[in-house]
Chains A and B, each alone.
Chain A
Amino acid sequence: MWEYTDKVREHFLDPKNAGTIENADAVGEVGSLSCGDALRLFLKIDEDGRIEDAKFQTFGCASAIASSSILTEMIKGMTIEEAENVSNKEIAEALGGLPKEKMHCSVMGQEALEDAIRKYRGLDAAPAPEGEIVCKCFGVTDLQIKRAVLENNLTTLDEVTNFTKAGGGCEECHGRIQEIITEVRTGKIAEPASVQEKPAKLTNLKRFQLVTKTIEEEIRPSLHKDGGDIELIDIEGTEVIVSLRGSCVGCPSSGHTLKGFVERRLKETVEEAITVREA
Chain B
Amino acid sequence: MNSVYLDNNATTMVAPEVREAMLPLLGEEYGNPSSMHGLGGRSGLYLSQAREKVAAGLGCDPDEIIFTSCGTESDNTSIFSALESQPEKRHIITTRVEHPAVLNVAKHYERKGYAVTYLGVDSKGHFDLEQYRAAIRPDTALVSVMYANNESGVISPIEEMVDIAKEHNVLFHTDAVQAVGKIPIDLKKLPVDYLALSGHKIHAPKGVGVMFLRRNTPFRPFMLGGHQESGRRGGTENLSGIVGLGTAMELAVKHIEEENTRVRALRDRLGKGLMSAIPDSIINGDTEQRLPNTLSIAFKFIEGEAMLLMLDQFGICASSGSACTSGSLEPSHVLRAMGVPFTYAHGSLRFSLSVYNTDADIDIVLKELPPVISRLRQMSPFRRGDEGLDWADSHAH
Contacts and interface: CB of A to CB of B under 8 A. Distances in A.
B329 A129 contact: no
A209 to B, nearest CB: 29
Contact of B393 (A33, A36, A168, A169): A33
A64 B376 CA distance: 12
A38 B382 contact: yes
Interface residues of B, number: 35
B396 A37 contact: no
A36 B331 contact: yes
29 contacts: A15-B379, A30-B392, A32-B393, A33-B301, A33-B382, A34-B342, A35-B397, A36-B303, A36-B322, A36-B324, A36-B331, A39-B381, A57-B379, A58-B379, A58-B381, A59-B301, A61-B303, A61-B304, A61-B305, A65-B306, A108-B397, A115-B395, A128-B396, A129-B396, A137-B330, A139-B396, A161-B329, A168-B329, A169-B330
Interface string B371-397: 000000011111000101011110111
Interface in A123-174: 126, 128-129, 137-141, 161, 165, 168-169
Contacts of A37: 303, 324, 397
B38 to A, nearest CB: 47
Given A30-B392, A35-B397, A139-B396, A57 B305 contact: no
A115 B392 CA distance: 12
A40 interface: yes
A61 B392 contact: no
Interface of A is mostly: mixed
B309 A58 contact: no
A101 B323 CA distance: 11
Contacts of B310: 13
A31 interface: yes
A110 B396 CA distance: 14
Interface of A: 1-2, 12-13, 15, 18, 29-40, 57-65, 101-102, 108, 111, 115, 126, 128-129, 137-141, 161, 165, 168-169
B335 interface: no
Q: Among the interface residues B305, B331, B342, which one has the most CB atoms of the partner chain A within 10 A? A: B305
Nearest to B301: A59
A33 B392 contact: yes
A32 B330 contact: no
Contacts of B91: none
A168 to B, nearest CB: 3
B131 interface: no
Contact of A169 (B302, B329, B386, B391): B329
